[in-house]
Amino acid sequence: VLEAYKQGLRPALGYELNPWLLCLANYRAWKAGYHGKVSFLKKDLWKVNLSDCHNVIVFLAPSVKPPLATKLLAELPDDARVVAGRFPFPSWTPSSTLGQGLEQVWAYDMKEVRQEVQGSAQ
């Protein structure tokens, strides 16, 4: 969320259910001088409607990626971009990648992902 804000993405908002991680995220935002500029909300990602999001960054375990892929396909607009850190989406082809090892990220443009998914379903 902090890096998204630094890169000019607004609003920069994170969801976290774990109260300790939520506290840590708010502390890190305050320490970096971004208090009041970024937000972290205690909400369940599975219950949040993401239809107005155009940039989504996820750092989640591989086991969560398939159901998250379904949610993102259902809710995100075509012009949205999803960036996955540490673990790629197993059934999606990235538009681009950056870094390597633990620092690698995969970027997916939802319009391309939808076209690929629709093509493979036919």
Profile the chain (122 residues) by mean pLDDT over runs of 10 residues. 88 92 95 93 94 91 94 97 93 95 94 91 70
Q: Report the alpha-carbon distance of residue 59 to residue 42 in Å, rounded.
A: 16
- Residue 60: its pLDDT value, please? 87
The single residue listed with the structure tokens 């305050």 is 30
- Residue 121: its pLDDT value, please? 72
Q: Model pTM?
A: 0.85
- Residue 38: its pLDDT value, please? 94
The single residue listed with the structure tokens 């993405």 is 9
Residue 38: φ, ψ to 5°: -120, 160
Q: Is the bond preceding 62 in cis, omega lying within 30 degrees of 0?
A: no
Tell me the domains of the chain and their CATH numbers: 1-43 (no CATH), 51-121 (3.40.50.150)
Per-residue DSSP letter, 35 = B
- Residue 119: its pLDDT value, please? 84
- Residue 9: its pLDDT value, please? 86
- Residue 27: its pLDDT value, please? 96
- Residue 24: its pLDDT value, please? 95
Q: Which helix (H) or strand (E) holds 12?
A: strand 12-15
* Type of residue found at 118: Q
Residue 28: φ, ψ to 5°: -65, -35
- Residue 94: its pLDDT value, please? 97
CA 104 vs CA 41, 49, 68, 97, 115: distances in Å: 26, 27, 19, 7, 24
